[in-house]
Amino acid sequence: MQISVRDIIRIFQVEEKTIYGWIAKKKMPCMKVNEQYRFNYVELLEWALKNRISLTGDILALGEHQPNGLCILSDALKVGGVYYDVQGRNREEVLKNVIELLPLPLEMDKKSLLEMFLAREAMESTAVGNGIALPHLRRPTVLNVEEPLVSLCFLKNAVDFNASDRKPVSILFALVSPSTKMHLLILSRLSFCLQDPGFQKYLHRKAPKEQIVAETIVVESRLALQRKASGKTKNKPGP
């Protein structure tokens, strides 16, 4: 996606002279096309994060126009939301409070959903280490939801989730998916993002929602580039 100066003025809510100052002094990534500056969406997000430029909802909304499948996790995170200081003294209380925050269909039985989440934890902890857990259902198709959602919850107090590294959990990604295929895809995207030091940094300092979503888009885009490069390598003719 190519963005114009006029778009930048709107989404960053700054004057035009500020943009030219960013280009000259802060190395704002851009190119000239017919004497007009154009900006790449993902490069722009990465630059804004590194330079601590305030992000608005407008710039994140532009990600909805990315190629289909590029921002699966970040789109699900936009739907599910980011929550801070979630209460709970133990795993059951935390999951109960997390479920109350999820933007679920009104007819969904939250008590039954909690029982399913707890049953999944009883089978095997969803803690992945470093204070992070990914609560989800063993069989996601039992839920009647139309689109996937991922809710990121920062706990008020760290709670024991029987993690293999024995670290208490203070960060939860609660996953709800309409199909097994989508569920596995989101889990794989999230696992990839959690391997990224920058993504982990934003999580552990409880960054604002806009920064976390933006970083998710950036890391997901790197995955797409890696796969594209891998495909080119596989298809490259031999000597």
Q: How far apart are CA 215 and CA 6, in angstroms?
A: 24
Amino acid 225: pLDDT: 66
DSSP sequence for 40-93: EHHHHHHHHHHTTPPP-HHHHHGGGGSPTTTTHHHHHHHHH-EEEEE--SSHHH
pLDDT of residue 18: 94
Tokens of 112: 């039954």
What pLDDT does residue 229 have? 62
* pLDDT value of position 147: 87
**Any idea what DSSP says for residue 103?**
-
pLDDT at 161: 95
What pLDDT does 33 receive?
A: 85
Strands 149-159 and 82-86: parallel
The pLDDT score that the predictor gives to residue 98 is 97
Q: How far is the C-alpha of 176 from the C-alpha of 170, rounded, in Å?
A: 20
To the nearest 10°, report the CA torsion of 117, 77, 69, 230: -90
Maximal C-alpha separation, the chain? 63
pLDDT of residue 207: 95
Return d(Cα 7, Cα 1) in angstroms, integer: 12
pLDDT for the residue numbered 209: 93
β-pair type (132-133, 169-176): parallel
Q: Give the pLDDT score at 235.
A: 46
Per residue of the chain (239 residues), give pLDDT as tens.
568 898 888 888 889 999 999 999 999 999 988 888 998 888 888 898 888 888 877 777 766 655 555 678 999 999 999 999 999 999 999 999 999 999 988 888 899 999 999 999 999 999 999 999 999 887 766 567 788 899 999 999 999 999 999 999 999 999 988 888 888 889 989 998 999 999 999 999 999 999 999 999 999 888 766 666 665 444 444 43
Q: Domains in the chain and their CATH numbers?
A: 2-65 (no CATH), 72-222 (3.40.930.10)
Query: Of 219, 220, 213, nearest to 59 (Cα)?
Result: 213
Helix (H, G, I), strand (E, B) or coil at 220: helix
Q: At 37, is the secondary structure helix, strand, or coil?
A: strand
User: Residue 131 gets which letter from DSSP?
Assistant: T
- The whole-number pLDDT of residue 52 equals 82
**Burial letters 173-190, b for 16+ CB under 10 A, else e:** bbbbbbeeebbebbbebb
